[in-house]
Amino acid sequence: MALGTINKTYVSTIPFLDQREILNEALNITNEELHFLDVMELTNRMVETGNVTYHHFTNQELYATETIKTGSSVTDNSGGSGQGDITFVATSANGTTKIRIGDTLMFPSGYAGYVYDKTADAGGDQIDVKAVLSTVTTANLAAAADQVVATFGQASGEGSGSPEAVRYSLDKDFNQVQIFKNKAVITDIESLNKIEVNFEGKPYYMYKAVHDSLMRFRGDIAFTMVIGQISDENFTSASPKLTDTGGNAVQTTKGVDQYIADSGVNLTGVTVNLAHYATLTRSLNARRCPDTYYLFVGTEMNIAHDDMLTGLNTALTSNGRIKMGEGSELMLGIDTFKLYGRTYKKIHMPMLDHQNVINFTGSAGYHKKAYYLPEGQIKTHGPGGGMVDRFRCRYMNNGDTDSRYTERLTGGLAPIPTDDTDLLNVTHKAIMGLEVLGAYQCASTKLS
């Protein structure tokens, strides 16, 4: 007796991006699929942009240190009175120092000084200072070339006018989108290599080659979001350095690594131990960073952290971190830890171990790196204020149902044939770029 037939139709791989568990069941994809792009999507850090470049501004520190100019002498103006009264030249260019008349300074000696005059000097700004305490002599003030002094307050005279205005600038950072594409070509013979899946209760088929192409396409985006570097010119440049074989302008986006290298905390040659985390904590606290961070690591950094943290627990308890889970499971690794007042949520990303992209003999060593990105949001100033995610992905709408990714099918074997060739061409495309807001408060570390 005939059992009847089931009509199966083609389903694009794009819808499966929102239902990854089906994709995993159907194809048993490799662990390399867990990457930075997945984190961005799972935490809903995808924001649409209408421009190929995007900018943001960060307010500068309200306080600034100044250095006494190298090679200059500190003049004693006390006239033998014993009162610390000095003149020094700051290293900043003439008229650009943040020190004002009326500011109070702290010297490395621990004594405070009051700025009673400031004049332009050919090598910078000439600062006249008197020690706040009458018992402090010029020798006690111990001011010398190359010392760093800090402004910590302001003192105005009775009946005086307003102090000099301080101009605070903005630090500008920007990035740009990058066009990502990949293509799979299937012949009439290869088209027989189909994988049958159920999607939303209905039978469909998909091509293994198309899925592989999609995974390579997404991998290209993910790796770029981490180790990509921004091109000097972009699509609007008159004579861009990067062009394709057709003479079309090409632009690239910068990843997490470059964002942090440009303005974040960068520590190299480290050994993961308490001393290292003490150094990192001091650096982050000096920048008044948030209290909770994502810690993205590959195998090397994962092992180094688990060894340190398990060792700390062993020193504190008789059985250390040894914890029995369900059945006979032995739990030794530590995924979240709090150290020196800051919480770190460790995320192992297998992409940082890829033997043909990141971790191979003679590589650039990114597999030895760890990236620290604040977990929460950053406050914005301006009309309405608000909070935005500290790191996110910018994408341009391609005008399709799924605005982040498109899949184009052409050829004679396409569901709707476009020519008479015995081929199916499948092209994936996305226009995306990374955005890290306040990279000043991000960090990267690299093992020695």
Mean pLDDT lowest for which of 13-22, 155-164, 227-236?
Answer: 13-22
1 in any annotated domain = no
For residues 308 and 419, state if they share a domain: yes
For residues 312 and 272, state if they share a domain: yes
d(CA 18, CA 22): 9
Domain boundary among 117, 138, 168: 168
For residues 131 and 225, state if they share a domain: no
Q: State how many domains the chain has.
A: 2
Domain boundary among 137, 168, 199: 168
2 in any annotated domain = no
Prediction pTM value = 0.76
Angle between helices 256-263 and 208-227 (to 10 degrees): 0
How confident is the model at residue 405, as a pLDDT? 87
Domain boundary among 135, 168, 201: 168
Q: How far is CA 405 from CA 75, 181, 397, 427, 445, in A?
A: 67, 10, 8, 10, 33
For residues 248 and 100, state if they share a domain: no
For residues 122 and 219, state if they share a domain: no
Measured in whole angstroms, how far is the alpha carbon of residue 73 from the centre of its chain? 42
Q: What is the domain extent for residue 385?
A: 9-58+173-447
Residue 30 has pLDDT above 80, yes or no: no
**Span 56-80, average pLDDT:** 79
pLDDT tens, position by position, 199-251? 677 777 777 778 788 888 988 999 999 999 999 888 888 888 899 888 889 99
Q: How far is CA 213 from CA 206, 216, 261, in A?
A: 12, 5, 32
For residues 132 and 189, state if they share a domain: no
Best CA proximity match to 392, nearest among 376, 407, 405: 376
How confident is the model at residue 279, as a pLDDT? 97
pLDDT band for position 20 (cuts 50, 70, 90): very low
For residues 354 and 233, state if they share a domain: yes
For residues 108 and 181, state if they share a domain: no
Q: In CATH, what number is assigned to the domain containing residue 149?
A: 2.40.30
3 in any annotated domain = no
Q: Which tokens belong to 50?
A: 């209408």
How confident is the model at residue 23, as a pLDDT? 43
For residues 230 and 311, state if they share a domain: yes
Query: What single-letter amino acid sits at 103?
Result: D
Residue 315 has pLDDT above 70, yes or no: no
pLDDT tens, position by position, 368-414? 999 999 998 887 766 666 788 899 999 988 765 556 888 888 999 88
pLDDT band for position 57 (cuts 50, 70, 90): confident
Q: Which tokens belong to 310?
A: 């398990």
How confident is the model at residue 54, as a pLDDT? 83
Residue 289 has pLDDT above 50, yes or no: yes
Best CA proximity match to 352, nearest among 408, 306, 310, 296: 296
For residues 350 and 214, state if they share a domain: yes
d(CA 102, CA 419): 80
For residues 297 and 441, state if they share a domain: yes
How confident is the model at residue 26, as a pLDDT? 44
For residues 136 and 275, state if they share a domain: no
Mean pLDDT lowest for which of 10-14, 158-162, 210-214, 404-408?
Answer: 10-14
411 in any annotated domain = yes
Best CA proximity match to 181, nearest among 348, 445, 409, 427: 427
271 in any annotated domain = yes
Give the phi and the psi of residue 119 in degrees, each rounded to 5: -135, 155
